[in-house]
Each structure stands twice: as C-alpha cells, then as structure tokens.
Amino acid sequence: MNFIKNKLMAFRDIFKDSNDLNEKNIVGFSSFAVMVIFAAADIITGALGKELLITDTIFNSFVIITLGSFGIDGITKIFTKKTEE
C-alpha cells in the first residue's frame, strides 16, 4: 500500500512548480509513445490483412504535440543563457 501511495505522490510532484522534471519532455514523450503504439498496431493489422482506420486528424494532432513540445524545449535550451553557479 505504501508503494502505491509513494508512486501517487511522485506523480503529483510532476505538477509542482519546483521540480526537477521537464513537463514538456513528459508530454512530448507520451505523445511519441502513442504514435509508436499506433504505428505498431497499423503494422500488425496490415500483416493480418486488415486495415486499421486511424483518423488523420488524430494522428496529426499527436505529431504536432510531439514536435511542439520537443521544439519548444529545444529552442528554450538554445536561447536561454545559463547562469554560472
């Protein structure tokens, strides 16, 4: 029971203002994982001779979310000045 409680608390820590995790990377990776699952399901159903009907709008929205979150994070890293400690 404590293991589940600790994991839920760790999940809540993601959304705090003071954390070490980058939320844009989490969203981008999650979106990319969904795209990979779609691609694997499409390949598997194609091998079985069936067509997997995925709306282009849904797939394109995951592509935009992935590119947007990784792109914003990349630009932020490029154009922000690092403060030396």
Neighbours of 42 (CB within 10 A): 15
| CA nearest neighbour of 68 among 34, 24, 30 | 24
- 57 belongs to a structural domain: yes
Whether the full predicted model's pTM is greater than 0.95, yes or no, is no
On whether residue 8 sits in a domain, the answer given is no
Domain count, the chain: 1
* φ/ψ bin of 80: left (φ > 0), alpha (ψ from -120 to 50), beta (otherwise): beta
Residue 45 lies in a domain: yes
Q: What is the pLDDT of residues 27-72, one digit of tens each?
A: 888 888 988 898 898 899 989 998 888 777 888 888 888 888 888 8
Structure tokens belonging to residue 21: 């995790």
Range of the domain at 69: 23-79
With a CB cutoff of 8 Å and minimum separation 6, the contacts of 32 are 66
In a domain, residue 14? The reply is no
Say if 75 falls within a structural domain: yes
Residue 4 lies in a domain: no
In a domain, 7, yes or no: no
Residue 17 forms part of a structural domain: no
